[in-house]
Copies of this chain bind each other. A is one copy, B any other.
Amino acid sequence: MDRSPADAARARRTSGGPVLQDELTAALKRALYKELAEAGYGKLSLEAVARRAGAGKAAIYRRWSGKRAMLVALLSDLAGEAIEVPDTGALRSDVRQFLVNSCAALEDPLMYEIVPDLLAEAARDPEVGDALSYAMHLLKREKAAELLQRAIDRGDLDPGTDVEIGLELLAGPLYWRLVVIKKPTDDDYFDRLTNKIVGALEA
Protein backbone atom coordinates (compact mmCIF):
# COMPACT_ATOMS: atom_id res chain seq x y z
CA MET A 1 0.00 0.00 0.00
CA ASP A 2 1.41 3.38 -0.95
CA ARG A 3 1.70 6.02 1.65
CA SER A 4 1.33 9.64 0.82
CA PRO A 5 3.01 12.49 2.64
CA ALA A 6 -0.37 13.29 4.09
CA ASP A 7 -0.48 9.83 5.62
CA ALA A 8 2.99 10.36 6.96
CA ALA A 9 2.06 13.63 8.56
CA ARG A 10 -0.98 12.06 10.13
CA ALA A 11 1.06 9.11 11.31
CA ARG A 12 3.57 11.40 12.92
CA ARG A 13 0.86 13.10 14.83
CA THR A 14 -1.01 9.98 15.93
CA SER A 15 1.12 6.84 15.99
CA GLY A 16 4.35 7.91 17.60
CA GLY A 17 6.65 5.90 15.36
CA PRO A 18 9.19 7.17 12.87
CA VAL A 19 7.73 8.25 9.63
CA LEU A 20 8.46 8.90 6.00
CA GLN A 21 10.18 12.20 5.68
CA ASP A 22 8.21 14.73 3.71
CA GLU A 23 11.23 16.55 2.34
CA LEU A 24 12.62 13.30 0.93
CA THR A 25 9.27 12.47 -0.58
CA ALA A 26 9.26 15.85 -2.28
CA ALA A 27 12.84 15.44 -3.47
CA LEU A 28 11.98 12.07 -4.98
CA LYS A 29 9.04 13.58 -6.83
CA ARG A 30 11.19 16.40 -8.14
CA ALA A 31 13.74 13.84 -9.30
CA LEU A 32 11.01 11.81 -10.96
CA TYR A 33 9.74 14.87 -12.78
CA LYS A 34 13.20 15.69 -14.10
CA GLU A 35 13.96 12.13 -15.16
CA LEU A 36 10.65 11.94 -16.95
CA ALA A 37 11.46 15.06 -18.88
CA GLU A 38 14.88 13.72 -19.87
CA ALA A 39 14.25 10.05 -20.46
CA GLY A 40 10.52 9.68 -21.06
CA TYR A 41 8.23 7.22 -19.41
CA GLY A 42 9.40 4.18 -21.32
CA LYS A 43 13.05 4.55 -20.40
CA LEU A 44 12.38 5.90 -16.94
CA SER A 45 14.60 4.21 -14.36
CA LEU A 46 13.75 4.40 -10.70
CA GLU A 47 17.38 3.75 -9.94
CA ALA A 48 18.19 6.97 -11.75
CA VAL A 49 15.45 8.77 -9.85
CA ALA A 50 16.89 7.58 -6.55
CA ARG A 51 20.40 8.48 -7.66
CA ARG A 52 19.34 11.96 -8.67
CA ALA A 53 17.59 12.45 -5.35
CA GLY A 54 20.65 11.17 -3.47
CA ALA A 55 18.48 8.48 -1.96
CA GLY A 56 18.41 4.72 -1.84
CA LYS A 57 15.99 2.73 -3.96
CA ALA A 58 14.25 1.54 -0.81
CA ALA A 59 13.20 5.11 -0.10
CA ILE A 60 11.11 4.93 -3.26
CA TYR A 61 9.66 1.49 -2.68
CA ARG A 62 8.81 2.42 0.89
CA ARG A 63 6.49 5.07 -0.52
CA TRP A 64 5.15 3.63 -3.72
CA SER A 65 4.70 0.17 -5.13
CA GLY A 66 6.48 0.92 -8.40
CA LYS A 67 6.89 3.16 -11.39
CA ARG A 68 3.22 3.63 -12.08
CA ALA A 69 2.21 4.30 -8.50
CA MET A 70 4.87 6.95 -8.20
CA LEU A 71 3.61 8.58 -11.36
CA VAL A 72 0.03 8.49 -10.18
CA ALA A 73 1.15 10.24 -7.02
CA LEU A 74 2.90 12.90 -9.04
CA LEU A 75 -0.26 13.38 -11.04
CA SER A 76 -2.43 13.56 -7.97
CA ASP A 77 -0.21 16.29 -6.61
CA LEU A 78 -0.86 18.26 -9.70
CA ALA A 79 -4.57 17.49 -9.74
CA GLY A 80 -5.30 20.43 -7.53
CA GLU A 81 -4.04 22.64 -10.27
CA ALA A 82 -7.28 21.94 -12.04
CA ILE A 83 -8.17 23.84 -15.11
CA GLU A 84 -9.54 27.24 -14.22
CA VAL A 85 -13.19 27.46 -15.11
CA PRO A 86 -14.04 30.98 -16.12
CA ASP A 87 -17.07 32.94 -15.09
CA THR A 88 -17.32 35.85 -17.49
CA GLY A 89 -21.08 36.19 -17.29
CA ALA A 90 -21.77 35.04 -20.84
CA LEU A 91 -21.86 31.51 -22.26
CA ARG A 92 -19.84 32.22 -25.39
CA SER A 93 -16.95 33.90 -23.60
CA ASP A 94 -17.05 31.26 -20.84
CA VAL A 95 -16.77 28.49 -23.42
CA ARG A 96 -13.97 30.21 -25.29
CA GLN A 97 -12.00 30.84 -22.13
CA PHE A 98 -12.53 27.26 -21.00
CA LEU A 99 -11.07 26.05 -24.29
CA VAL A 100 -8.08 28.35 -24.00
CA ASN A 101 -7.45 27.26 -20.42
CA SER A 102 -7.79 23.60 -21.31
CA CYS A 103 -5.39 24.04 -24.18
CA ALA A 104 -2.82 25.62 -21.87
CA ALA A 105 -3.20 22.70 -19.47
CA LEU A 106 -2.85 20.11 -22.21
CA GLU A 107 0.26 21.79 -23.57
CA ASP A 108 2.03 21.50 -20.25
CA PRO A 109 4.79 18.92 -20.72
CA LEU A 110 3.40 16.92 -17.85
CA MET A 111 0.13 16.42 -19.63
CA TYR A 112 1.64 16.15 -23.01
CA GLU A 113 4.21 13.51 -22.17
CA ILE A 114 2.92 11.63 -19.19
CA VAL A 115 -0.83 11.57 -19.40
CA PRO A 116 -0.91 9.51 -22.59
CA ASP A 117 1.29 6.94 -20.91
CA LEU A 118 -1.00 6.73 -17.94
CA LEU A 119 -4.03 6.63 -20.18
CA ALA A 120 -2.53 3.67 -21.95
CA GLU A 121 -1.72 1.98 -18.69
CA ALA A 122 -5.18 2.73 -17.39
CA ALA A 123 -6.57 0.56 -20.17
CA ARG A 124 -5.09 -2.41 -18.38
CA ASP A 125 -4.86 -1.38 -14.75
CA PRO A 126 -8.07 -0.21 -13.08
CA GLU A 127 -6.19 1.25 -10.13
CA VAL A 128 -4.26 3.54 -12.39
CA GLY A 129 -7.43 4.30 -14.26
CA ASP A 130 -9.26 5.34 -11.14
CA ALA A 131 -6.45 7.52 -9.89
CA LEU A 132 -6.15 9.10 -13.26
CA SER A 133 -9.86 9.68 -13.57
CA TYR A 134 -9.97 11.30 -10.21
CA ALA A 135 -6.86 13.36 -10.74
CA MET A 136 -7.67 14.55 -14.18
CA HIS A 137 -11.27 14.36 -15.10
CA LEU A 138 -13.60 14.45 -12.19
CA LEU A 139 -12.60 17.79 -10.76
CA LYS A 140 -12.47 19.33 -14.17
CA ARG A 141 -15.75 17.73 -15.10
CA GLU A 142 -17.49 19.16 -12.09
CA LYS A 143 -16.18 22.58 -12.83
CA ALA A 144 -17.19 22.43 -16.47
CA ALA A 145 -20.63 21.33 -15.36
CA GLU A 146 -20.83 24.48 -13.23
CA LEU A 147 -20.09 26.51 -16.30
CA LEU A 148 -23.05 25.02 -18.13
CA GLN A 149 -25.31 25.22 -15.08
CA ARG A 150 -24.62 28.92 -14.73
CA ALA A 151 -25.59 29.39 -18.38
CA ILE A 152 -28.84 27.55 -17.73
CA ASP A 153 -29.48 29.60 -14.59
CA ARG A 154 -28.89 32.80 -16.52
CA GLY A 155 -31.29 31.65 -19.20
CA ASP A 156 -28.53 31.48 -21.84
CA LEU A 157 -29.34 27.81 -22.29
CA ASP A 158 -32.59 25.91 -22.18
CA PRO A 159 -33.19 24.15 -18.83
CA GLY A 160 -33.51 20.86 -20.74
CA THR A 161 -30.04 21.19 -22.24
CA ASP A 162 -28.16 17.87 -22.49
CA VAL A 163 -25.34 18.64 -20.06
CA GLU A 164 -23.63 15.25 -20.42
CA ILE A 165 -23.15 15.65 -24.14
CA GLY A 166 -22.27 19.27 -23.57
CA LEU A 167 -19.33 18.31 -21.41
CA GLU A 168 -18.06 15.96 -24.08
CA LEU A 169 -18.30 18.68 -26.67
CA LEU A 170 -16.27 20.97 -24.44
CA ALA A 171 -13.52 18.43 -23.82
CA GLY A 172 -13.45 15.99 -26.73
CA PRO A 173 -12.69 18.00 -29.86
CA LEU A 174 -9.87 19.95 -28.26
CA TYR A 175 -8.32 16.83 -26.73
CA TRP A 176 -8.58 15.09 -30.08
CA ARG A 177 -6.85 17.93 -31.86
CA LEU A 178 -4.09 18.46 -29.34
CA VAL A 179 -3.29 14.97 -28.17
CA VAL A 180 -4.43 12.65 -30.94
CA ILE A 181 -3.92 14.42 -34.21
CA LYS A 182 -1.53 17.01 -32.77
CA LYS A 183 -2.52 20.04 -34.79
CA PRO A 184 -1.71 23.52 -33.55
CA THR A 185 -4.28 25.96 -32.29
CA ASP A 186 -4.67 29.69 -32.67
CA ASP A 187 -7.15 32.41 -31.84
CA ASP A 188 -9.13 31.81 -34.97
CA TYR A 189 -9.43 28.13 -34.17
CA PHE A 190 -10.77 28.91 -30.71
CA ASP A 191 -13.32 31.27 -32.25
CA ARG A 192 -14.52 28.71 -34.72
CA LEU A 193 -14.67 25.85 -32.20
CA THR A 194 -16.49 28.07 -29.71
CA ASN A 195 -18.98 28.91 -32.44
CA LYS A 196 -19.78 25.30 -33.11
CA ILE A 197 -19.98 24.27 -29.49
CA VAL A 198 -22.30 27.10 -28.58
CA GLY A 199 -24.31 26.28 -31.67
CA ALA A 200 -24.62 22.68 -30.56
CA LEU A 201 -25.56 23.60 -27.01
CA GLU A 202 -28.26 25.93 -28.20
CA ALA A 203 -29.54 23.54 -30.85
Contacts and interface: CB of A to CB of B under 8 A. Distances in A.
A174 interface: yes
Contact of A196 (B122, B165, B174): B165
A181 interface: yes
A77 interface: no
Nearest to A161: B196
B120 A120 contact: yes
Interface residues of A, number: 45
Q: Is the interface of A mostly helix, strand, loop or mixed?
A: helix
Interface of A: 40-42, 112-113, 116-117, 119-124, 129, 133, 137, 141, 162, 164-166, 168-169, 171-177, 179-182, 192-193, 195-203
19 contacts: A40-B121, A40-B123, A40-B124, A42-B117, A112-B123, A116-B122, A116-B123, A117-B120, A119-B179, A122-B182, A133-B182, A169-B173, A169-B200, A171-B180, A176-B176, A198-B203, A199-B200, A199-B203, A203-B203
